[in-house]
Amino acid sequence: MLSYIVPFIVLILVVVFIHEYGHYYFAKRYGVGVTDFSIGFGKEIFGWNDKSGTRWKICLIPLGGYVKFFGDRNVYSQADHKEILEKYSKEEQKKLFTLKPLYQRALIVFGGPLANFLLALVIFFSIYTFIGKDFTPAVINEVQKDSPAMVGGLKQGDIILEIDGNEVKSIMEVSKFITMSTDKIIDFKVKRSYDEILLKIKPNIVLSEDNLGNQVNKRMVGIKLGAYNNEINHVKLGPAQSLMHAANEVYYVSISSLKYIGAMIAGKADTSQLGGPIRIAKISGQVADVGLLAFISMMAYISISLGLINLFPIPMLDGGHLMFYALEKVLGRPLSQKTQEGFFRIGMFLLISLMFFTTFNDIKDLGLFK
């Protein structure tokens, strides 16, 4: 159990700190007073005050964090401006988040998700620059009898060029593109002799084990891959190429995640694969056992997920506040405190419902009940 908890806490501390620091950075940039910078919720374990009066602290429940601004009842609260003007002096008003221009408030809120995407970008950039990236072409060595691949027309010796429109630059990407596909039919573009052929494959959904030994529903097409000419092409990239490939990976993961979530909402994707803190903790421990590189790579993917989820237009999340600011821009005034509180209650209900659902999946994944 300890082997799961320690990597999980390290993962959460880094990803949440980066997210909250994104808010903090833009808040300080625009002169907003920050009273608290908290990693975790609940009782404070330890902390300190910096020269500007910000309380930096680690709290008991490490499942998130927050940055609290001077004068706010809660993070990003929009109190009545008349009340604010009466309560605070001219000097104090300069530090209030709610009195800042709309674009500054929006940037402060967007800073959290932005920091998460930048963390993932830096991680991928570092891996490709210092460790390298695989560019080994994927060749089909075997097509299993009566498999979806055989039915769809894939043959031994085919070189896989694209999957669902995504260019396959490496043998490592084939499994990723198949797994992330949400359509019933997967488009394969292959090179056969001198021809490029587009084939449609309908995968089987099979309950099997992933590389870490976890039970998952896998999309299987029935092929075994090998390296083209049995040569592995793993190269360290220059800064420009590393940045390009890192940005492409962040973009691909973001778009694929949105497609998957859309498919789940439409009832076309497997919701049993949606996990919460328990599953993340379990996988964190398993990945940490594999090695530091795998753990850091997972950190990048979790960071993208955190940034993406926080941009959803749900009250309580950063995206909910950005939605309020968009309405403020259209209406020419902020929504009333009563209206915002009503939206926050809806957001709280949605988040609690999601928490219960993912926890149910986590517990089922542990085999406590079926």
Same domain, 18 and 124: yes
The reply to whether 291 falls in a domain is no
Instruction: Please report whether residue 198 resides in a domain.
Output: yes
The CATH number linked to 191 is 2.30.42.10
Length of the chain in terms of residues written: 370
Residue 161 within a domain: yes
Chain centroid to CA 323: 20
The residue from 188, 211, 235 where one domain ends is: 235
The verdict on 112 and 181 lying in the same domain is: no
- The packing angle between helices 277-290 and 2-29, to 10°, is 110
Residue 74 is predicted with a pLDDT of: 46
Structure tokens at 313: 């237009």
| pLDDT score, position 300 | 92
Check residue 368 and give its pLDDT: 41
pLDDT at 149: 93
Do 26 and 126 fall within a single domain? yes
**Residues in the chain where the model's pLDDT stays below 50:** 74-77, 79, 362-363, 366-370
Are residues 137 and 122 located together in one domain of the fold?
A: no
Summarised one tens digit per residue, pLDDT across range 285-299 is 666 666 788 889 889
Helix (H) or strand (E) holding 286: helix 277-290
Does any domain span residue 84? yes
The amino acid present at 304, given as its one-letter code, is: I
For residues 104 and 141, give the distance between their C-alpha atoms in angstroms, rounded to a whole number.
56
Q: Clarify whether residues 100 and 138 are in a common domain.
A: no
Per-residue pLDDT reduced to its tens digit, 40-76: 888 999 999 999 889 999 998 877 889 999 877 544 4
Report if residue 275 sits inside a domain: no
Residue 20 annotated in active site: yes
What radius of gyration, in Å, describes the C-alpha atoms of the chain?
24
86 and 116 part of one domain = yes
Q: Give pLDDT, residue 274.
A: 56
110 and 138 co-located in one domain:
no
Please, which residues have CB within 8 angstroms of residue 112's CB and are 6 or more apart in sequence? Answer: 19, 20, 22, 23, 307, 310, 318
**Same domain? 121 vs 9:** yes
Evaluate whether residue 259 is within a structural domain. Answer: no
Residue 122 and residue 9 share a domain? yes
pLDDT the model gives residue 25: 97
What's the whole-model pTM score? Answer: 0.83
Judge whether 288 lies within some domain. Answer: no
Instruction: With respect to residue 244, please indicate whether it lies within any of the assigned structural domains.
Output: no
Same domain, 199 and 176: yes
Q: Are residues 45 and 118 in the same domain?
A: yes
Residue 188 belongs to what domain range?
133-235
What letters, b where the CB count within 10 A reaches 16 and e where it falls short, cover 117-152? Answer: bebbbebbbebbbeeebebbbbbbeebeeebbbbeb
- Active-site choice (20, 86, 167, 173): 20
The pLDDT score that the predictor gives to residue 211 is: 58
Which residue has 């797994």 as its token pair? Answer: 179
Same domain assignment for residues 153 and 46: no
**Number of domains the chain contains:** 2
Q: Which of 202, 218, 235 represents a domain boundary (last residue)? A: 235
pLDDT at 3: 63
